[in-house]
Chains A and B, each alone.
Chain A
Amino acid sequence: DAGVIQSPRHEVTEMGQEVTLRCKPISGHNSLFWYRQTMMRGLELLIYFNNNVPIDDSGMPEDRFSAKMPNASFSTLKIQPSEPRDSAVYFCASSIYKNNEQFFGPGTRLTVL
């Protein structure tokens, strides 16, 4: 069975550019989570969705970050405009709603120059 799929795996962009990260959750999972991982702050939850509806976006750092889930099999995390301090690894995870086991994708390593 396919796990969580993320694309791209690596993204290098210049400050000010728009960045879009993509995620396909595990089929049948109806909760989706976006995380950011850095050396300084570890794994931080940015936002999560249940049944395509955003439930908690309190971890989104600022208005430059936005996330959507237009359907059960696709989500995007967008940063516009990007800044060097956004450089990190961004993970998507999915789970079955109310089942606590979250399964992570391979991540997108973002570098903003």
Chain B
Amino acid sequence: GQQLNQSPQSMFIQEGEDVSMNCTSSSIFNTWLWYKQDPGEGPVLLIALYKAGELTSNGRLTAQFGITRKDSFLNISASIPSDVGIYFCAGLRFGNEKLTFGTGTRLTIIP
């Protein structure tokens, strides 16, 4: 099925660094969701965005709904070891309950 373009595919950072990742689409979405998946677990919902331009925070995480409605961004400030995992964006079109998932960004923290 269709997937959203997510970048970067992987990131290797040091503890304490800030992280930025994004998700882009050729079509408009009305809802953007960001999930984190740990090894052997299911995706966990981090942030939900419902309005173009919306900026929402959840602790050290901040996500934005792009004003074109075709993209979304996730930032993590002052990364810590437990931030390691795969981050997925997911978009939802108006009137549609089927999430379209991004390809994922794998975050690794270098000791």
Shortest distance from the beta carbon of B88 to any chain A beta carbon, whole Å = 7
- Size of chain A's interface in residues, with CB distance under 8 A? 26
Is A91 located at the chain interface by the 8 A CB criterion?
A: yes
- The answer to whether A59 touches B45 (Cβ under 8 A) is no
Pick from B41, B45, B92, B101: contact of A43, CB below 8 A: B101
Pick from B1, B48, B103: contact of A100, CB below 8 A: B48
The digit string for B67-107, where 1 denotes a CB below 8 A from any CB of A, is: 00000000000000000000010001000011101011000
A95: nearest residue on chain B (CB-CB)? B97
A3: nearest residue on chain B (CB-CB)? B42
- The answer to whether B88 touches A43 (Cβ under 8 A) is yes
Is A45 located at the chain interface by the 8 A CB criterion?
A: yes
A107 to B31, CA, bound (A): 24
- The answer to whether A45 touches B99 (Cβ under 8 A) is yes
Is B21 located at the chain interface by the 8 A CB criterion?
A: no
Is A44 located at the chain interface by the 8 A CB criterion?
A: yes
What are 10 A-B contacts with C-beta separation under 8 Å?
Answer: A42-B104, A44-B1, A100-B33, A100-B48, A102-B45, A104-B35, A104-B42, A106-B42, A107-B42, A109-B40
Q: Nearest 8 pairs between A and B by C-beta?
A: A104-B42, A43-B101, A100-B31, A104-B43, A107-B42, A100-B92, A106-B42, A101-B48
